[in-house]
Amino acid sequence: MIHMLYPLKLDPVYKEPIWGGKKLREIFDKDIPSDTTGESWEIACHENGTSIVANGPLKGKSLKEVIDDYGVEALGTKIGEEGKKKFPLLVKIIDASDRLSVQVHPEDEYAKEHEGELGKTEMWIVLDAKPGAQLVYGVKPGVTREMFEESIKKGTLENLLNFVDVKKGDVFFIPAGTLHAIGEGLLIAEIQQNSDTTYRVYDWNRVDSSGKPRELHIQKALDVTILSDCIGHEKVEGTVTKEGENIRHHLVSCKYFVTEILEIQKESKEPLNGDKFDLLMAIEGNGVIEYREGAVPFKAGDSFFMPASIGDYSIAGQCKVIKTYVPVR
């Protein structure tokens, strides 16, 4: 039976890597499976994890099933059939109680040829940071391809990395080919292309319980890493628009996604005219999504797929919400 679409609240997919923690429970009251839960795939439609609808008549269906059943109604006229073949975006929250490996992601052409997958351009919004937290963004100035390769083989890459001090609210845009690593004590919202391809370059010379190092993907990393000077340009400033008592932060606009943060004190009207879908993730406060057929309440930590066909909607309450969508031309 086909139902009229509505704001779909999604239950996430949890991942438990060795570096995970319990902040998803402590900050967002999520029912995580363990104290080493490192990733919450909030809005996901990927072979390695798909969100499940948590509300309304479609409760229990996967996001993939909804997209397969509703097609253009869900995705929009500009994304439609292409989006049915491969949903374009993946939204996560990452909790790093230990530092992650130094990684790089390929762009579309390389990823398609070598992995049969999309490339991975992504962005981070820092939701929480312990004092003194850092992350890796690119390399120091003057690092050559030869220096880079030699340091990976010798296990001394740490000396060439660009470490950045991080605080809550910082934003980073990470195009494919950018060397990066999330540091210890960071809780991060990640918006990315819908890809699970990661090339591990360096893992701080760690070994597992049997004394073995984790697998590295050195040749592929050498193929795709861009060694450009990024010092002083790591963080995204964005632009701010005052809309009455509300504030809209325009953060990133690239060919894969547009991302804003809405700081809402009063109702914020959001247009949706049928050509695309919106993705929403509440990160502070609580409120209500109002649309022509009704209203859906939310709290911090809730994520929604907003189908293209529901029309204009508004967000009311005192809250902070990340809004992401695919640019349409």
Cα separation, 252 vs 254, in Å, equals 6
Going by the DSSP 8-state scheme, the letter that residue 100 receives in this structure is P
Does residue 200 have an active-site annotation? yes
Question: Residue 2 has what pLDDT?
Answer: 65
Q: What is the mean pLDDT of each run of 10 residues along the chain (329 residues)?
A: 86 94 97 97 96 97 96 91 86 97 96 95 98 96 93 93 97 96 98 96 83 87 90 90 97 97 97 96 98 96 97 97 94
Q: Is 115 annotated as a binding residue?
A: no
The dihedral formed by the CA atoms of 163, 168, 174 and 180, expressed in degrees to the nearest 10: 30
Q: How far apart are CA 67 and CA 71, in angstroms?
A: 5
> Distance (Å, rounded) from C-alpha 118 to C-alpha 257?
14
The predicted structure's pLDDT at residue 71? 93
Q: Quote the CA–CA distance of 277 and 87 in Å, as a whole number.
A: 11
| pLDDT score, position 314 | 98
Q: Please, are residues 106 and 197 in contact by the beta-carbon 8 Å criterion? A: yes
Tokens of 166: 């991080």
Query: What do you get for the CA distance between the two ends of the chain, in Å?
Result: 33
Distance CA 321, CA 160 (A): 36
Determine whether the annotation assigns residue 46 to a binding site.
Answer: no
Look-up: residue for tokens 């090339």? 199
Q: Which amino acid is at 87?
A: F
DSSP string computed for 182-229: PPTTEEEEEEEES----EEEE-TT-B-TTSPBPP--HHHHHHH-----
How far apart are alpha carbons 264 and 317 in whole angstroms? Answer: 7
Q: Give the residue from 256, 251, 18, 290 showing the smallest Cα distance to 124.
A: 251
**For the chain, percent helix, then strand, then coil, each to nearest 5?**
15, 40, 45
Evaluate whether 53 touches 60 at the Cβ level (below 8 Å). yes
Task: Please tell me the predicted confidence (pLDDT) of residue 230.
Answer: 82
Whole-angstrom distance, CA of residue 308 vs CA of residue 47: 23
Domains in the chain, ordered, with CATH? 8-224 (2.60.120.10), 239-325 (2.60.120.10)
Active-site residue identified among 25, 145, 200, 206: 200
Q: What was the pLDDT predicted at 118? A: 93
SS3 144: coil
Query: Residue 152 corresponds to which tokens in the numbers above?
Result: 């990976």
122 annotated ligand-binding residue = yes
